[in-house]
Amino acid sequence: MIFTKRTNTAVWIEKYNRWQIKVQKDGLRKTFYSSTPDRTGQREANAKADAWLDENIINTRLNVAKTTAEYIEQLKLTTSKSHYTQYEYYINNWINPKIGRLKIEALNEQHLQNIINSAYNKGLSKKTLQNIKGCMTSWLKFCRMNKYTTLFPENLSIPKGAATKEKAILQPEDVKKLFVSSNTILNRKETYDIFVNAYRFQILTGLRPGEVIGLKWSDIRGDIVNLRRSINVHGEVTKGKNDNARRTFELPAYAKQIVSNQKKDAKKI
């Protein structure tokens, strides 16, 4: 490939309210855009064009579905099952059905915004829309690292009308019931709930469900609890939800009694 230098500059397209520049390299012609107003947008569009001209972008004829498949395979090697299965779901149900057959070289930011808008119109929550956006952003970073594209989706947005999913919060009366009775209904019969101490311990300490499940007796020394792991929905041992997940704290007085009760129950099993 012979280095190609840009000789033109981005122009403002009034009809679409954006800057646009067309450049050519090795017989391939591409168009770059920026919706940022004023000369800042012009510089952004020019910078995108320059990046494509300067970088040795390869395999631009690959379709999107091929690149997303490669991306998922990388996630399987580098992330937890919970993470890659979630992103695999977004790709298989929202990204590939919309743009899977599209060549990566033809992909632009509006294609990605259309996916978010379509999910919004289907009534998905704001959190899910943010997750889909995050999935696309991460996938495109993978594509840039592999020299498939220079596309950087800096203007993707979540529709302002996106609903925040309401959470069912445990009410005071429900908490009272949990500490008054140790029974539950199983197969239409009232029976002792073998997990009741775990539920009570979670409320008293504020631990996440996976953190409670991941606790071992060796993690509790006297009044001190050392959180070292969490168990996800796939039964995998993880380091927790974030960097602050591994921590040490002192047990509240009643929580120590719950631990004692659990030790007695464990001996009965």
Instruction: Provide the residue ranges of all domains of the chain, joining segments of one domain with +.
Output: 11-54, 64-145, 172-268
Distance of CA 23 to the CA centre of its chain: 34
Number of H helices, E strands in the chain: 10, 10
pLDDT averaged over every residue in the chain: 89
- For residues 135 and 91, the answer to whether their CB atoms sit within 8 Å is yes
Tokens read off for 247: 């921590």
Three-class SS state of 13: strand
CA distance 168 to 166: 7
What's the pLDDT at 122?
94
- For residues 144 and 152, the answer to whether their CB atoms sit within 8 Å is yes
Helix (H), strand (E) at residue 194 = none
Q: What is the pTM of this model?
A: 0.65
Q: In the chain, pLDDT over 70 holds for what percent of residues? A: 95
What's the pLDDT at 73?
97
What's the pLDDT at 56?
66
Going by their DSSP bridges, the two strands 183-186 and 189-192 should be labelled as: antiparallel
Tokens read off for 233: 């929905």
Phi, psi of 241, deg, nearest 5: -70, -35
What's the pLDDT at 245?
73
Distance of CA 180 to the CA centre of its chain: 39
Task: Return the closest-CA partner of residue 147 out of 106, 110, 105.
Answer: 105
pLDDT, tens digit, 9 for 90 and up, residues 58-90: 677 789 999 999 999 999 999 888 899 999 999
What's the pLDDT at 2?
43
Sheet containing 220-221, strands listed edge to edge, beginning at the edge strand earlier in sequence: 220-221, 224-226, 248-250
- For residues 45 and 57, the answer to whether their CB atoms sit within 8 Å is no
CA distance 87 to 81: 10
HSE of 243 in the Cβ direction (CA atoms, 13 Å)?
A: 0
Amino acid symbol at 254: Y
What's the pLDDT at 57?
67
Domain 64-145: top CATH class: mainly alpha
What's the pLDDT at 1?
42
CA distance 222 to 250: 9
DSSP for residue 163? P
Query: Which residue numbers in the chain have pLDDT < 70?
Result: 1-4, 56-58, 243-244, 269
